[in-house]
Amino acid sequence: MALRKLVAGNWKMNGTRAALGEIAAIEAAAAGAAGIDVAICPPFTLIAAAGQQVSKVAIGGQDCHHAAKGAHTGCIAATMLADLGARYVIVGHSERRTDNGEDDAQVRAKAEAGIAAGLIAIVCVGETEGERDEGRAGSVVGAQLDGSVPPAATAAQLVVAYEPVWAIGTGRTPSLDDVAEMHALIRAKLLAILGQEGAGVRILYGGSVKPDNAAALMAIADVDGALVGGASLTAAQFAPIIEAAAGA
């Protein structure tokens, strides 16, 4: 089943108000891309202002706390993201799993909080280079999905991003065959966890998606879009990726 593609940009800890012009330029590029969804997840500090630059492009957060409110200094609740107009929240990015020691149970709790706040949770999974070299990519990602995917989620509430850790920010990508194999495995696992809802969950590929490889990646079965880091920071780089998704 061909699902509506989603191209989501993760700005990470990049961008001040001076970058809002890029959001406006990305909106202009996305406005011409029919039949797909486009999102940008800027730093928390830009969510409100970015929302004023867009109508076609949705805005998302890069993380949220699992609790709705409380004594958690420096944290952001999913309800706060929704209050600013965000539509998505990324949870379980490998940089959060590594830098902040987040485990699958925490990632699932965050995804559930995002969904409860009315957001679409983008749950990230992916193996390290060592795990792939040991032939464990499939079992590692399968276990991450078992632990991180909210079992009651509907297809409309959930997106999964497959991001091999070794491909993030490195300019390296798996072979197209390896991407196809992992996305097929993820689809089967989502069906096992969610039943028929798993057929409608979009599975994004992430890790060094660039204008010159986007079309080939998005032509693969069960690649329902892309999660893009570095190349989402400028409209010049992101617009051709949006166009590749619209043409896929």
Report how far apart the first and last C-alpha atoms of the chain are (Å, whole number).
14
Verify whether residue 163 is a known catalytic residue.
yes
Q: Determine, following the binding rule CB under 6 A, whether residue 79 of this chain makes contact with ligand PEP.
A: no
| Three-state DSSP class for residue 221 | coil
Do 42 and 54 contact (CB within 8 A), yes or no?
no
Compare residues 148 and 208 and give the one whose CB is closer to ligand PEP. 208
Residues 127-186, interacting with ligand PEP (CB under 6 A): 163, 168-169
Compare residues 168 and 242 and give the one whose CB is closer to ligand PEP. 168
Q: Determine, following the binding rule CB under 6 A, whether residue 40 of this chain makes contact with ligand PEP.
A: no
Greatest Cα-to-Cα distance within the chain, rounded to the nearest angstrom = 47
Residue type present at position 105: A
Question: In the set 227, 235, 239, 245, which binds ligand PEP (CB under 6 A)?
Answer: 227
Cα separation of 204 and 185, whole Å? 13
Catalytic residue of the set 93, 95, 112, 131: 93
Verify whether residue 22 is a known catalytic residue.
no
Question: In the set 42, 51, 174, 230, which binds ligand PEP (CB under 6 A)?
Answer: 230
Catalytic residue of the set 112, 131, 163, 197: 163
DSSP 199: G
Q: Determine, following the binding rule CB under 6 A, whether residue 208 of this chain makes contact with ligand PEP.
A: yes
Residue type present at position 224: D
Q: Determine, following the binding rule CB under 6 A, whether residue 203 of this chain makes contact with ligand PEP.
A: no
Q: Determine, following the binding rule CB under 6 A, whether residue 30 of this chain makes contact with ligand PEP.
A: no
Compare residues 125 and 194 and give the one whose CB is closer to ligand PEP. 125
DSSP string computed for 47-92:
HHHHHTT-SSSEEEES--BSSSSSS-TT--BHHHHHHTT--EEEE-
Q: Determine, following the binding rule CB under 6 A, whether residue 209 of this chain makes contact with ligand PEP.
A: yes
SS3 labels along 157-173: HEEEEECCHHHCCCCCC
Compare residues 13 and 34 and give the one whose CB is closer to ligand PEP. 13
Q: Given the rule CB under 6 A, which residues bind ligand PEP?
A: 10, 163, 168-169, 206-209, 227-231
Question: Any idea which residues carry the catalytic annotation?
Answer: 93, 163
